[in-house]
């Protein structure tokens, strides 16, 4: 069964350091999402790609976060510099891209980030 891959699974860093997360969506899925989930809350969309184009990055803190999906397949999310408040689960999801508000999203295992 096809799955969304993410790495690393866990990351511990000190504040002011740079961190990067990688995501490989299900093959053939045009839409890729990065979410941040703080403990006790639901996933919050950070950025959404359709192929290599950004569709929505309205909630991405652009002063420190960046995301790219250069070839429209895998994607990287970067934080520089990391802050204590960035500690969270970072989830990647993908969908077919037929319709943004009706497509089922499939999640990867997530990256648990701890900033010390």
Which chain residues interact with another protein by CB under 8 A?
40-45, 48, 56, 89, 91, 100-110, 112
- Taking the complex as a whole, the smallest distance from the CB of residue 24 to another protein amounts, in Å, to 14
Q: State the minimum distance, in angstroms, from the CB of residue 76 to another protein.
A: 18
In eight-state DSSP terms, residue 104 is P
7 vs 81 by CB, closer to another protein: 7
Token pair belonging to 116: 């010390």
C-beta closer to another protein: residue 80 or 115: 115
**Distance separating alpha carbons of residues 59 and 78, to the nearest angstrom:** 15
The smaller minimum CB distance to another protein, of residues 31 and 79, is found at: 31
Q: How far is the CB of 21 from another protein (least distance, A)?
A: 13
Q: Are 91 and 43 in contact (CB under 8 A)?
A: yes
Nearer to another protein, 53 or 104 (CB): 104
* Distance between CA atoms of residues 94 and 100, nearest Å: 11
Write the CA distances from 48 to 11, 74, 87, 95, 96, integer angstroms.
23, 13, 21, 11, 13
Provide, rounded to whole angstroms, the least separation between the CB of residue 81 and another protein. 26
């Amino acid at each position: 069964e096809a799955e969304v891959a993410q790495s690393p699974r866990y990351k511990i860093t000190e504040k002011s350091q740079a961190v990067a997360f990688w995501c490989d969506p299900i093959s053939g899925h045009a839409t890729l999402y990065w979410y941040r989930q703080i403990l006790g809350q639901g996933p919050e969309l950070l950025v959404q790609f359709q192929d290599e184009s950004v569709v929505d990055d309205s909630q991405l803190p652009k002063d420190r976060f960046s995301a790219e999906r250069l070839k429209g397949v895998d994607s990287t999310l970067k934080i520089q510099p990391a802050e204590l408040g960035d500690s969270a689960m970072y989830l990647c999801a993908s969908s077919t891209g037929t319709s943004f508000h009706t497509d089922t999203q499939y999640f990867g295992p997530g990256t648990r980030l701890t900033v010390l």
